[in-house]
């Protein structure tokens, strides 16, 4: 309706404009042209104002979105701690493994050397080339070797187990990295939301995702998880307080 | 403790399954089987005569806590000892596991000594 009336007014002004130009009324022509331009600009300004208000509102509601502030305040610094911990754990696992091997290799080399020596003597004994004195010496050496062999194999066994246990980093770092990937996805979605809001002036939903039953994963130094225990001892204490 | 008892090791990370199996073998257990989450573990538990379940908590498909609840809800498996070996360290989760009827709770990373201690405790209790 308003559009129709505005159109009529404009048409009337156009007729007047033609009339005043034909009549050579310069002042009237000017006045009519100015009033027509103002009419046009007024609509444009109104529209720009409207868009500005919508964009402002959308951005404000986006900034207040809990999820976004949570991302910047907590999740991203946590992700840095988590990734640093991954470096630390992989470094520790590599060192544990290499240290164990460093300790094992000289032991096996020594065993190999002794075995070779005794083997040569044993061959001589079998082909009756060993004197009684040499035989007595070899017997003593064999006794010593067997004793050392028991100790060394137990040592190698222990080190092998240390190497096995050191591989648990793979599970734990895997869990941590999976969490960081989820965070990156979350950031990506938030950025897409931001672009969408800026583009279409739709207000963002401020619903916070349900977090019940969310699993925290491995404990990371520097990342505080409310209500988490710090050691196996605390787990044991808690369970025993529950009658375990 | 019967070293021939049938044990099911459940974890979604194959390296952790290998580690746990290795440690159990070290402790003298030889009858070991594995599954990669609750969904694959449960049919095995229902079908086979397992004596002991060692499971992770956070796994896709079916979690360890849901598997534990399933085990306790089924008369055939209700009395089976269950040990949770998990990275989850929140008190409310430990309490939830206790309420669901877990027999032991170990947080990762753990040592061979801790595993031995918990298993000894579980079977000392169930024998006594």
The pLDDT, as a whole number, for residue A43 is: 77
The lowest-confidence range among A50-64, A180-194, B86-100 is A50-64
Whether this model's ipTM surpasses 0.90 comes out as: no
Query: Is there a single domain that holds both residue A17 and residue A51?
Result: yes
pLDDT in tens, A63-109: 656 667 777 788 888 888 889 999 999 989 988 998 999 899 999 99
- Is residue A218 domain-resident? no
CB atoms A227 and B91 under 8 Å: yes
d(CA A183, CA A132): 78
Task: For each of the domains in chain B, give its residue range(s) and CATH number, in order of start.
Answer: 7-127 (3.40.50.2300)
Compute the average pLDDT of residues A10-36: 85
The pLDDT, as a whole number, for residue A200 is: 63
Confidence of residue A124 (pLDDT cuts 50, 70, 90): very high
CB atoms B90 and A244 under 8 Å: no
- Is residue A221 domain-resident? no
The tokens describing A30, both together, are 């000017």
Query: Is there a single domain that holds both residue A41 and residue A74?
Result: no
Average pLDDT, chain A: 84
Q: Look at residues A64, A98, A116 and tell me which one is the last residue of a structural domain.
A: A64
Alpha-carbon separation of residue B79 from A22, A88, A116, A172, B50 (angstroms)? 107, 41, 56, 30, 11
Q: What percentage of chain A carries pLDDT values higher than 70?
A: 89
Distance from CA of B37 to the nearest CA of A (A): 14
* B124 contacts chain A (CB < 8 A): no
The pLDDT, as a whole number, for residue A61 is: 67
CATH number of the domain enclosing A73: 1.10.287.500
- Is residue A220 domain-resident? no
CB atoms A227 and B16 under 8 Å: no
**Are the CB atoms for B19 and A167 separated by under 8 Å?**
yes
pLDDT in tens, A169-191: 999 899 999 989 988 888 888 78
Q: Where are the alpha helices (DSSP H) in A65-168?
A: 66-70, 76-126, 132-166
Minimal Cα distance from B101: which residue of A?
Answer: A244
Instruction: Please give the radius of gyration of chain A, using alpha carbons only, rounded to the nearest integer.
Output: 42
Which of B96, B98, B93, B95 lies closest to B82, judged by CA?
A: B98
Q: Is the pLDDT of residue A11 over 60?
A: yes
The pLDDT, as a whole number, for residue A93 is: 92
Number of domains in chain A: 2
pLDDT in tens, A218-235: 888 778 788 888 889 999
Residue A126, SS3 per DSSP: helix
* B106 contacts chain A (CB < 8 A): yes
| Residue numbers in A near B93 (CB within 8 A) | 215
Query: Is there a single domain that holds both residue A92 and residue A113?
Result: yes
What is the DSSP pairing of strand B104-107 with strand B82-86?
parallel
- Is residue A205 domain-resident? no
pLDDT in tens, B10-41: 999 988 999 999 999 989 999 999 999 999 99
Which of A164, A176, A181 is the best mutation test for B, with the most CBs of B within 10 A? A164
- Is residue A242 domain-resident? no
Query: Is there a single domain that holds both residue A44 and residue A84?
Result: no
Domain residues for the domain of A92 are: 66-200
**Are the CB atoms for B18 and B54 separated by under 8 Å?**
no
The pLDDT, as a whole number, for residue A207 is: 46
Q: What percentage of chain B carries pLDDT values higher than 70?
A: 98
- Is residue A104 domain-resident? yes
What is the DSSP pairing of strand B52-55 with strand B104-107?
unpaired
């Amino acid at each position: 309706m308003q559009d129709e009336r505005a159109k009529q007014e404009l048409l009337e002004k156009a007729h007047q404009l033609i009339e005043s130009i034909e009549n050579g009324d310069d002042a009237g022509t000017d006045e009519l042209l100015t009033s027509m331009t103002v009419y046009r600009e007024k609509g444009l300004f109104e529209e720009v104002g409207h868009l500005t208000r919508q964009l402002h509102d959308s951005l404000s509601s986006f900034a207040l979105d809990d999820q976004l502030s949570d991302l910047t305040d907590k999740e991203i610094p946590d992700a840095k701690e988590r990734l640093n911990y991954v470096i630390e754990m992989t470094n520790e696992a590599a060192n544990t493994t290499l240290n164990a091997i460093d300790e094992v290799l000289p032991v096996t080399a020594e065993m190999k050397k002794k075995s070779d020596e005794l083997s040569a003597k044993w061959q001589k004994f079998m082909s009756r080339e060993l004197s009684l004195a040499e035989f007595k010496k070899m017997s003593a050496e064999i006794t010593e070797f067997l004793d050392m062999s028991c100790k060394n194999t137990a040592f190698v066994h222990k080190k092998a187990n240390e190497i096995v246990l050191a591989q648990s980093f793979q599970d734990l770092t895997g869990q941590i990295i999976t969490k960081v990937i989820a965070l990156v996805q979350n950031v990506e979605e938030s950025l897409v939301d931001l672009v969408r809001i800026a583009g279409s002036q739709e207000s963002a939903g401020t619903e916070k995702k349900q977090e019940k039953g969310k699993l925290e994963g491995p404990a990371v130094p520097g990342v505080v998880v409310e209500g988490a225990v710090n050691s196996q001892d605390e787990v044991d204490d808690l369970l025993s307080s529950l009658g375990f | 403790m019967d070293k021939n008892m049938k044990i099911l090791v459940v974890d979604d990370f194959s390296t952790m399954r290998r580690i746990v199996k290795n440690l159990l073998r070290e402790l003298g257990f030889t009858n070991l089987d594995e599954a990669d989450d609750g969904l694959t573990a449960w049919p095995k538990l229902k079908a086979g005569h397992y004596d002991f379940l060692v499971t992770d908590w956070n796994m896709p498909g079916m979690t360890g806590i849901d598997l534990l609840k399933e085990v306790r809800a089924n008369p055939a498996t209700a009395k089976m000892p269950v040990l949770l070996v998990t990275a989850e360290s929140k008190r409310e989760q430990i309490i939830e596991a206790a309420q669901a009827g877990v027999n032991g709770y170990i947080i990762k990373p753990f040592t061979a000594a801790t595993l031995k201690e918990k298993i000894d405790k579980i079977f000392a209790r169930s024998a006594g």
